Structure 1
Amino acid sequence: MRVIILYVSLLVIASGCSSSKRAGKTDMLKDAPEWVQQTPNTPSYYHGIGMIYKSGVQNYRERARQVALSELAGNISVNISSSSVLNQFEYDHTYSEFFKDEIRMNTQEQLEGFEFVEQWENDQQYWVYYRLSKSTWEEIKKERRDKALRLSKAQLEQANSYTAKGNYVDALNFYICAIEEIRDFLGEDLRISFDNEERSYATSLKTAIINDLQRLKIVFPSSAMEIGPDSKNKNLSFEAAIIDNCERPVSGIPIITRFTWLPGYKIETTSDINGKFKIAIGTIDFRKQSEKIISEINLDKIVSDNTNDILVKRLFETMKPHSYILPIKLTAPAFDIVLNEKNIGQTIINSGLREEIVRLLKQNGFELVSANNKGDYSIIVEANTQKGSERNGLFSAKLNAAVLVKDRSNKTVYNRKVEDISGLGSGFVEAGRDAFRSFISKYRISIYPEIVQNLF
């Protein structure tokens, strides 16, 4: 019974506290004007109301003002027209939200035309009310938009003049400047007059940029390249060029080149005064029959070098320059095999080592030739077993071997010694054969992968 009484008492106390808080809040605002109680809803205005608790806050009036103007700016909607620059550049939803946030932030920073309406305060709070006429804001925005469009068109005309001269580096710079000028209006349907006809500025601007990029093409010295094993370690490189549709060399264009056999690796270079740039091939894996070299204009670098505006940078991310591909035909190297195998001093022919070497080479697509024909590489193995000990009818043997790989000029390109590989058997010969089996396993697991890695 006491528990029930205590529980009921607590409920009553809690209810009383809650009522006191509500009453206190109501009392605090009992003399407040209507705009404090509820934000006005006048259709012809944007409204912004800010409130700051005064206790311990310096400049609370200015802080309340900033809160009010932030709310006012947030009430100005940001719409994206289907004919806007953003839609022309095929932005995605993520970029759309990023753009809207950027414009809201800019709107707050550049807000003007607003008017102070009223302020109110009590012992604890300071309230301030600002509003902005929608018609006034539209006039301000139109004036800004028209000015931005004029400046952007001037930049576009500069870009076109540089394109006509074959100066694509400066042309692309001015295209970027043209977009920077209208960056706050990328979501709007911007219109221009051309030959007494109204046109979409977004379409004109994007078409000009795409046309310039499409005029540029990368030219390789041949339609395909063939590389053989004799090219190994010769620091192969060649020159490619970038030209326009009039066959004029184009200088100063950043190029990025990737290789299908080197994932993640790339070469970044810039075309010289003759429009040429160098591609160093580097190490190549001859276990495949073909590879590709892929070069393209480094548009990301062009944009980054000409603007710090993240909004403009992200807009250009949707544009992907054409990739130019140079097919590479690889001629697989040919191997010959030379074995000198002895088991307890006796020459042996069929230890199984030759068969394993042949299997591994064919598995990787390498060619095999006889030792008389001499391949691109010679695999030379000398292996011999020696008697070990005998204990309780079980014999042991030790195998020592040397594995060499020589190229066509007889230069040693791989050399490894293997010592003391043990074998057991019912006799020394059987123990030697067991040691050879262990050596063949070692060749497959560690020696052959080392050879391939060292050569290719």
Structure 2
Amino acid sequence: MEKNRSIAMRNFKVNVRHLVMIILLLPVVAVYAGDKKPGWITQRPVSRFYYIGIGYASKAEHPTDYHQVARDQALNDLASEIEIKISGETIQKLSEMAGVIKEDVLSQIRSTTRAHLEGYEQVAAWEDANDYWVYYHLSKEVYQKLQKERKIKAINLAKDFYLKAKDEEKKGNIASAIRYYMQALQSFQEFIGEPVSVQIDGKSRYLQNEIYFALQQLFMNIKLLPLTGKLNIKMTKGKAQPVKVKATYQPQGNPVAGLPVAFKFVKGKGKIDSPVNSDRQGIATGMISSMLSSEKLQILRAFTGSDLFVDTGSNPLLQQLIRNLNTPATKILLTVSGLQ
């Protein structure tokens, strides 16, 4: 009996010791409540070693989600402290490429910084019957380390896609080359606002510029042509009518296979398969299943575009850059008969 009691006491002491160690390793978060606001609310903290974010929410205005509202505000506040070091020349170039003003470029870069925050910690929170405040910080050293690791990984992946795109371009696989270029841009969209210099063929080059202008050149050399000047569409119930355009790559005029082509009515209205991929002869066929307008002369627009290749996600600057590319399009005249 005495021996069992002695073993139990030893086990108890070991468990208590482990529990104390676990508690010591947990992050310390000060939670305040009461009438008197703590100093970090009345006077904003300043630190050489941390980025700081303070958030607030009214419980009356946000009775069910005031914690989340205050947290989001704190992280936005924290992100605003992170200095964005981008030259005026880079901002100007991005502004021209994306077709937006410089202020929008900076705003979108800051939004991207906020979206990719990690490593931050809650330091304290305070609340009373009406208000909720929260205090976060992020170690500057930790932030720089994480940013460097993410940037290296993103650049290496983007460069890999870029080299694959170049290889496909040399083989004449134009649609495949465009997809790889798009994936390259997408791979380092977090750093799209920073000048990224890489070694390619023994030369130092800015990767964003190389990808963007390669894409623009490919799109400029693609031509879409309707296979008939004016198409007579006779609508019969239950029978779809084909509309065809051919994609070629200039100046040789080689067919572009696998190119996504979309169709849209710009005059009149109807239902048509869209988008569709061009076949080996470069022909994209959209099937009109019904006409929804009584107009005799209607117009279809056939086009390819960057957003048909990849999902640009939530990065607004990348979306603007992609949308500002000049992409090929053509129009098809339809004379419609047999409308019910």
- TM-score (norm: length of structure 1): 0.48
Q: Which deviates more, 163-172 or 60-69?
A: 60-69
Q: CA RMSD in A?
A: 4.9
The CA deviation at 1:253 is 1.6
Tell me, in whole angstroms, the C-alpha distance in 2 between the residues paired with 1:53 and 1:278: 57
The 1:106–1:201 alpha-carbon spacing in structure 2 relative to 1, beyond 3 Å, is same
The 1:42–1:301 alpha-carbon spacing in structure 2 relative to 1, beyond 3 Å, is closer
| Unmatched 5+ stretches in structure 1 | 1-26, 286-290, 331-452
The 1:190–1:122 alpha-carbon spacing in structure 2 relative to 1, beyond 3 Å, is closer
The 1:98–1:172 alpha-carbon spacing in structure 2 relative to 1, beyond 3 Å, is farther
The 1:197–1:68 alpha-carbon spacing in structure 2 relative to 1, beyond 3 Å, is same
Q: Aligned runs of 1:30-429 on 2, under 5 Å?
A: 32-33=38-39, 35-42=40-47, 45-49=50-54, 68-69=74-75, 71-77=77-83, 82-83=89-90, 86-87=94-95, 89-93=97-101, 96=105, 99-100=108-109, 102-107=111-116, 110-112=117-119, 114=120, 119=124, 129-134=135-140, 136-220=142-226, 225=229, 239-245=244-250, 246-256=252-262, 262-263=267-268, 268=274, 269-278=276-285, 284-285=296-297, 296-299=302-305, 302-303=308-309, 306-307=310-311, 309-311=313-315, 312-324=318-330
Deviations 1:423-442 (A, max 9, x none): xxxxxxxxxxxxxxxxxxxx
Tell me, in whole angstroms, the C-alpha distance in 2 between the residues paired with 1:301 and 1:103: 20
**Identity across matched positions, percent:** 24
Deviations 1:303-359 (A, max 9, x none): 3xx32614344542222313346799x9xxxxxxxxxxxxxxxxxxxxxxxxxxxxx
- Residue identity in the other structure for 1:272: D
Report the structure number with the largest CA radius of gyration: 1
Tell me, in whole angstroms, the C-alpha distance in 1 between the residues paired with 2:234 and 2:56: 74
The 1:105–1:233 alpha-carbon spacing in structure 2 relative to 1, beyond 3 Å, is same
Confirm or deny: 8 A CA contact 1:88 1:203 kept in the other structure.
no
Confirm or deny: 8 A CA contact 1:145 1:185 kept in the other structure.
yes
Tell me which residue corresponds to 1:376: none
Tell me, in whole angstroms, the C-alpha distance in 2 between the residues paired with 1:64 and 1:279: 50
Tell me, in whole angstroms, the C-alpha distance in 2 between the residues paired with 1:295 and 1:121: 58
Higher relative contact order (CA 8 A, sep 6+): 2
Confirm or deny: 8 A CA contact 1:79 1:187 kept in the other structure.
no
The CA deviation at 1:105 is 3.8
- Residue identity in the other structure for 1:154: D
| Unmatched 5+ stretches in structure 2 | 1-33
Tell me, in whole angstroms, the C-alpha distance in 2 between the residues paired with 1:129 and 1:72: 10
Number of residue pairs matched by the alignment = 284
Q: Which deviates more, 86-95 or 232-241?
A: 232-241
- TM-score (norm: length of structure 2): 0.62
- Residue identity in the other structure for 2:209: T
SS in 2 for 1:48: strand
